[in-house]
Amino acid sequence: MAQRICIPDHEYKERVAKCAKILQREGLDALIVNGNEADYANPRYFSGYWPLFERAGVAISAGGDAALMVGPESAEFGKDRNKLDKVFVLKAYREGADPSYPELNADTFQDVFKAIGVTGKKLRIGIASFLDTSVTIYNEIRDAFPEAELINAGDIMVELRQIKSENELACLREGYRLAELATQEVIKEIRPGMTELQMVGVAQRVIYENGAEYEGLPMYVFSEASTRHAISRSGYREFKKGDIVQLNLSAKIDGYSASIGYPICLGKLEGERREIVQFCRQAHAWTMDQVKAGVIAGDIASEFYKYYVDNGFAGNFVYGPLHSTGIIEVEAPWAESTSRYPLQPNMTYQVDTFISCPTFGVRWEKGIVVTEDGCDLLSPEIPEECPEVF
C-alpha cells in the first residue's frame, strides 16, 4: 500500500518551535490561536486537529511548549486526532447552541498556561486570529488574565504559514490531482436536464474514491446567472443547452485545500460571450507571466486592474489576481493593490481570475508555487479555451 501523503508528526513540533522563537523576538509570553469547523487553519497548523461543531484553540509559550484547547464534547476526539501531548477542555470553546454543561468540571485558561510554563500576571498575550476568536473566548482570556496585554498577533501566523514546506506542497499537489480527476468526470457526465447539485455529487464521489479527506471548498457548479456570483452555492437549477457552467472543484489532503476552476459551455460558445470568456483567460495568463520571487504583490495587482481598464473591462472587475492558498482555500497574504510585500520562493497562490457581466460570469483558477525566476504549477494546466460539451 502506498504511503499516505500527509504532514509528518515532526513537522508539527517544528512549527511550534518556530512560533516560540517569533514570540521571543516580539516580546510575547504566549500566543493563542483559535478556529472553528469552517476556518480551522491556525489551530490545525500546530495540532493537526479539525474541530466539529465546537471551537478549538492552541496555546503556545515563548518557551516552546503547546497545548490544544477543545470544547466540552471533544475531549476524546481531541486526544485521538491531534499531535500535541497536552489537551484541555474549556467551556469557552463550546458549540453555538450555548449549553451550560453544569456538571462539567472544565479546565481554565490559567490551567492551560500553567501547563505550558507561562506564569505571572502582567503578561503579553498574542491572539490570532481576531476574526476567529469569539467574544466569549476573548472575554474569558481577558477575565483569566486581567492584567495582561492582549495583542492582535495575526501577522505571526502569516509569517509562519506563507512559506510552504515540501510536505505542504506535496499535500497540495495531491489535492489538485484529485480536483482534476473530479473535473474531468463532471465534464464527461454533465448533460442538459441535470442539476448543479447532481454534478456536485459526481465530483464528491470522485475525490472521496481517490483518497480525499474532504472537499477543499464547497464545490462550485454554477450555471448561467449564478455564474456571476464570486462566492455562492450550487442549487437545483437544471442545465439547458447553450448554458455557460462554472466549475470550481476541489479536494482536501490532510487539511490542505486545492481547487481548479474554469468555465464550460453546453454547446457552442460564440459572439460577445466568447470574447468575454477568452479575455478572462488572457488576463489569467498575463498574471502567470508576472509572478516571480522579488516582485511586489501590489504591483501585480495594480497592473492587473490596469489590464482590465486598458481592454475595456473596468466595469467587469471584481477582485485582484492572486490569493494565497494552503490549509484553507483562501489565506493571507492576498495580492491587492495595497500589498507591499515581495513574493518569495515557496509561497503558494491561486491564480484566480474572475469577471462578472450582467448575465453571466466566469473564473479561471489554478494553483502555483513561486520560484526564483517565475512559478511552477501545483495543479494540472487548465484549458486555453472554454471547453464545449455537446
**For residue 1, pLDDT beyond 70:** no
Percent of the chain with pLDDT strictly greater than 70: 99
**pTM exceeding the 0.75 threshold for the entire prediction:** yes
**For residue 157, pLDDT beyond 70:** yes
Strands of 66-70's sheet in order across: 87-89, 66-70, 56-61, 30-35, 124-128, 149-152
- Asked if 354 and 363 count as a contact pair (C-beta separation under 8 A), the reply is yes
What's residue 317's pLDDT? Answer: 95
d(CA 34, CA 90): 13
What's residue 296's pLDDT? Answer: 98
Q: Which amino acid is at 176?
A: Y
User: Which tens digits make up the pLDDT trace of 26-80?
Assistant: 999 999 999 999 999 999 999 999 999 999 999 999 999 999 999 999 999 999 9
List of residues 6+ apart from 41 with CB closer than 8 A? 35, 161, 255, 326, 327, 328, 331
d(CA 239, CA 243): 7
216, 218, 221, 227 alpha-carbon torsion, rounded to 10°: -110
Model confidence band, residue 129 (pLDDT cutoffs 50, 70, 90): confident
280, 311, 232, 235: which is closest to 383 by C-alpha?
A: 280
Overall average pLDDT of the 248-277 stretch: 97
Which cell goes with 352?
A: 484566480
Q: What's 280-296 look like in SS3?
A: HHHHHHHHHHHCCCCCE
Mean of per-residue pLDDT scores for the chain: 97
**For residue 150, pLDDT beyond 80:** yes
Overall average pLDDT of the 204-214 stretch: 98
User: Which tens digits make up the pLDDT trace of 293-329?
Assistant: 999 999 999 999 999 999 999 999 999 999 999 999 8
- Asked if 248 and 231 count as a contact pair (C-beta separation under 8 A), the reply is no
Domains observed in the chain: 9-161 (3.40.350.10), 166-377 (3.90.230.10)
Ranges 2-6, 201-205, 207-211: which has the least confidence: 2-6
Q: What are the start-end ranges of the H helices in 164-260?
A: 166-189, 196-209
